[in-house]
């Protein structure tokens, strides 16, 4: 019996030792995995670094590219498109004006009654219309007929408080947020479709001409007096409320900037100089690139797999379309190389764009002690359950790295524009204020991004200059801005002035 007992004891002891060894090995393995995951995070953080010196280099590069893009067509990655907007609203505009805002799967029709300096926007109304998917890939005629019908329906509901001037055509500002080669204030040729549209017979056509044909076909007496994009609409809306507005930036799904340039500072402009001496430039700054941009392997992979490799590099590291996906790509590498979420890589983590920037923002702003929002987002979107607090903290840190880089680079871009306009210094005895109008969901809803961008801009400008520069949210520039530009470019202005 004794031998059996001893044997059993030895077997038990061996089993305990083996189990202990397994635990130790598991701990060593998991601490090794953890160390590897942390190394991936730290390396990513280093590569995303935006020290102030680097941001100054980015701002200088932006200014240099702006000069190059204004000097000649194709002279720079920045298109620096001439918008033909040479009269921004002053606040004196009066009358009833319409706007059409087409930039995605919905479009809006808007009307405003303007009452001059005293009354400003007396009344406004809008209606939103969904575009049937078949029209997004059909014919130009079918799409513009559909839009014209919606416009006519909207005009028919003109009620009290809206007063069309007798004997005059209704005038419309058309916000068309697709790449267009502008040929005058009220004409422009479509370069290519984006955002899921693909109507081949509209490419290289004048979009105002296409809309006008459809409007005339149904007997609607309306004329397009301004064709603009959403960034210029934001600039117009900002300037209407504040005459110190000199530039506008959109930070949303995509990103762009527009600003007011002195007409004689545009070497590629060969027309007559406008009476105002000014011209609004649509920078298309999403396409900016520079060797100073802090790009990582994840950004390079995202770009290579995108629909437009090599293009829109600035947009791909600062805008809402992409930030969430950069976070996903880093998490995916942690899962693959450090088994961050266990032995199996969660399949959902391999799906591009499954993690959207609003979800990233919700995780980044999670203040609950157990980071409950982070846990539920990982579970609901990526089907990753049982995450520890330690893991959730890593996810928040990752969101912070990606958002901070984007925000600080956005500030450097704005600094580049201010430098080009000579607004980055204060001259003796000058009290000139400069305001940048901002719009877009990323700026409006992602608080950490916004505060980081604003504090970085102050840091770049320095305290003294920062007192003279402010950033203001210009809500719904693309809608009301287009109506204001229809007013400031009205065909009846000359009649009134004479």
pLDDT number for residue 14:
54
Q: How far apart are CA 299 and CA 345, in angstroms?
A: 21
Q: Is 91 left (phi over 0), alpha (psi -120 to 50) or beta?
A: left
Whether 262 and 86 have beta carbons less than 8 Å apart is answered as no
Beta 245-251 vs 278-282: how paired, if at all?
Answer: unpaired
- Concatenated DSSP letters of 243-260: TTEEEEEEESSSEEEEEE
pLDDT number for residue 498:
45
pLDDT number for residue 115:
85
pLDDT lower than 70: segments of the chain: 1-29, 476-478, 494-498
Predicted TM-score of the model (pTM): 0.89
Cα radius of gyration rounded to whole Å, the chain: 28
pLDDT number for residue 118:
78
Closest CA relative to residue 372, chosen from 341, 354, 395: 395
pLDDT number for residue 410:
98
Q: What is the largest CA-CA distance in the chain?
A: 122
* Full set of structural domains in the chain with CATH: 49-82+242-474 (3.40.367.20), 84-228 (3.30.420.40)
Catalytic residues: 195, 230
Q: Is 262 left (phi over 0), alpha (psi -120 to 50) or beta?
A: beta
3-state SS assignment for residue 123: strand
pLDDT number for residue 12:
53
Q: How far apart are CA 219 and CA 126, in angstroms?
A: 22
pLDDT number for residue 159:
84
Closest CA relative to residue 208, chosen from 475, 413, 482: 482
């Amino acid at each position: 019996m004794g031998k059996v007992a001893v044997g059993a004891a030895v077997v038990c002891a061996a089993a305990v030792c083996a189990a202990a060894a397994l635990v130790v090995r598991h701990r060593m393995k998991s601490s090794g995995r953890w160390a590897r995951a942390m190394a991936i995070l730290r390396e990513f953080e280093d590569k995303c670094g935006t020290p102030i010196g680097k941001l100054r280099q980015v701002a200088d590069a932006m200014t240099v590219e702006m000069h190059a893009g204004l000097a000649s067509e194709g002279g720079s990655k920045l298109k620096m498109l001439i918008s033909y907007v040479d009269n921004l609203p002053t606040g004196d505009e009066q009358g009833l004006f319409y706007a059409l805002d087409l930039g995605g799967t919905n479009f809006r029709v808007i009307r405003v009654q303007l009452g001059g300096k005293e009354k400003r926007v007396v009344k406004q109304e809008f209606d939103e219309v969904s575009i049937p998917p078949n029209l997004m890939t059909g014919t130009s005629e079918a799409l513009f007929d559909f839009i014209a019908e919606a416009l006519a329906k909207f005009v028919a509901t003109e009620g009290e408080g809206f007063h069309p001037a007798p004997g005059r055509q209704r005038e419309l500002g058309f916000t068309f947020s697709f790449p267009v080669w502008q040929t005058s204030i009220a004409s422009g040729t479509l370069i290519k479709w984006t955002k899921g549209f693909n109507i081949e017979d509209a490419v290289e056509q004048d979009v105002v001409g296409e809309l006008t044909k459809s409007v005339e076909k149904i007997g609607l007496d309306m004329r397009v007096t301004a064709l603009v994009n959403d960034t210029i609409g934001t600039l117009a809306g900002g300037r209407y409320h504040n005459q110190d507005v000199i530039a506008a930036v959109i930070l949303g799904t995509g990103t762009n900037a527009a600003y007011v340039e002195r007409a004689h500072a545009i070497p590629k402009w060969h027309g007559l100089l406008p009476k105002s001496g000014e011209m609004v430039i649509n920078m298309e700054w999403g396409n900016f690139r520079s060797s100073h941009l802090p790009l990582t392997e994840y950004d390079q992979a995202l770009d290579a797999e995108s629909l437009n490799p090599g293009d829109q590099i600035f947009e791909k590291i600062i805008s809402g379309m992409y930030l969430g996906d950069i976070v996903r790509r880093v998490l995916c590498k942690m899962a693959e190389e450090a088994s961050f979420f266990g032995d199996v890589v969660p399949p959902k983590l391999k799906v591009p764009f499954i993690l959207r920037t609003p979800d990233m923002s919700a995780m980044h702003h999670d203040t609950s002690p157990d980071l409950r929002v982070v846990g539920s987002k990982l579970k609901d979107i990526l089907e990753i359950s049982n995450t520890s607090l330690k893991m959730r903290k890593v996810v928040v840190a990752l969101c912070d790295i990606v958002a901070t880089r984007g925000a600080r680079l956005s500030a450097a871009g704005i600094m580049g524009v201010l430098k080009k306009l000579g607004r980055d210094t204060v001259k003796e005895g000058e009290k000139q204020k400069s305001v940048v109008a901002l719009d877009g969901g990323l700026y409006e809803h992602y608080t950490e991004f916004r505060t980081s961008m604003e504090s970085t801009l102050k840091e770049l400008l320095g305290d003294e200059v920062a007192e003279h520069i402010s950033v203001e949210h210009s809500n719904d520039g693309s809608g009301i801005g287009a109506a204001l530009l229809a007013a400031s470019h009205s065909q009846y202005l000359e009649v009134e002035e004479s």
